Structure 1
């Protein structure tokens, strides 16, 4: 079982860490939430390993959301995502502008963007992770993209 969990851990660690960082904007807190989530996965691994990859991701990100909410309730809210966006082009100014634009989105909309464009999840997978119907995911993604495009309008002329 240890070997199976190690493979599971390596396969999903990046996603859980990225979503924790997107939710909190704080690297240290994201690391804590990631480890708490993976510890919970270890405790529930017997049931988790019977799920397919999409079901495992959904379980992990739901568990992460619960831990983030618990953390938020225990602390004052932190500034959301301020670290650079990994998938942005090499221009550091653009990465900072994207990060700022992402902070203006709600937690759920920011999660939608990260899951779709950084983790390459489709609307059905995102819906399973966030407990939203796929149609709602597509609508909210569209609305979030419109807000991001407006916030980054100055870059469209470059």
Structure 2
């Protein structure tokens, strides 16, 4: 069975076997997607380029470790996400949001009803507004990596729950729970800016 999509301009089996030309074709094809994901984590282009290169270098050196449990690209992107996580942890100056704060940002219920009025908020719509992208990014930066990365992969990169689970090495149920909590926290952080929206 193929390790990646059938329309890719490279042979995944040849990549796994160590074929240099096939790996170079993979790098050319997958660099834009990998760069975009890593840049969601680290923000600046220079760091994202360096981490993208390091990802492919580590992947090439570690091809013997690829077990074929997931798509080849999922395995490689997982390496990139781990490198981006480490980079962010080293550079982050302030402590990200803890679980107690996350709990306080969740909706409050009484007798099975929301205590406050609740209007659904869709982060993907907000990020499309150029003048508000920085507000969303600042709010994302307040979340811990545990919650921030599910928003990045599911809402911004539009990955499936299955692929997100594979990339983060967690269950699909954990993806759904984290995504729900992260969305609620972001809604609470951003309501003051978006509460008057009619879109």
* 1:50-103 Cα deviation digits (max 9, x unpaired): 848x52233123322443455567x55368xxxxx9x932x4321111111111
Which residue of 1 is the match for residue 72 of structure 2? Answer: 56
Q: Which runs of 5+ in 2 are unaligned?
A: 1-18, 95-123
Rounded to whole Å, the distance in 1 between the matches of 2:84 and 2:196 is: 38
**How many residues of Structure 1 are paired with residues of Structure 2 in the alignment?**
148
Rounded to whole Å, the distance in 1 between the matches of 2:28 and 2:64 is: 17
Q: Given the superposition, is the C-alpha separation of residues 125 and 39 from structure 1 closer, same or farther in structure 2, using an over 3 Å criterion?
A: same
Q: Given the superposition, is the C-alpha separation of residues 69 and 112 from structure 1 closer, same or farther in structure 2, using an over 3 Å criterion?
A: closer
Pick which of 17-26 and 98-107 moved more: 17-26
The runs of at least 4 aligned residues of structure 1 exceeding 6 Å deviation read none
TM-score by length of 2: 0.61
Q: Given the superposition, is the C-alpha separation of residues 69 and 150 from structure 1 closer, same or farther in structure 2, using an over 3 Å criterion?
A: closer
SS of structure 1 residue aligned to 2:59: helix
CA RMSD of aligned residues (A): 2.9
Q: Give the alignment partner of residue 92 of structure 2, picking from 57, 69, 77.
A: 77
Q: Give the alignment partner of residue 146 of structure 1, picking from 165, 171, 184.
A: 184
Q: Give the alignment partner of residue 19 of structure 1, picking from 17, 37, 52.
A: 37
* 1:6-41 Cα deviation digits (max 9, x unpaired): 332233223322332233333322221111001122
TM-score by length of 1: 0.74
Structure with greater helix percent: 1
SS of structure 1 residue aligned to 2:92: coil
Q: Which runs of 5+ in 1 are unaligned?
A: 80-84
Matches within 5 A, 1:1-158: 1-45=19-63, 51=68, 55-68=71-84, 71=87, 75-77=90-92, 88-89=127-128, 91-153=129-191, 154-158=193-197
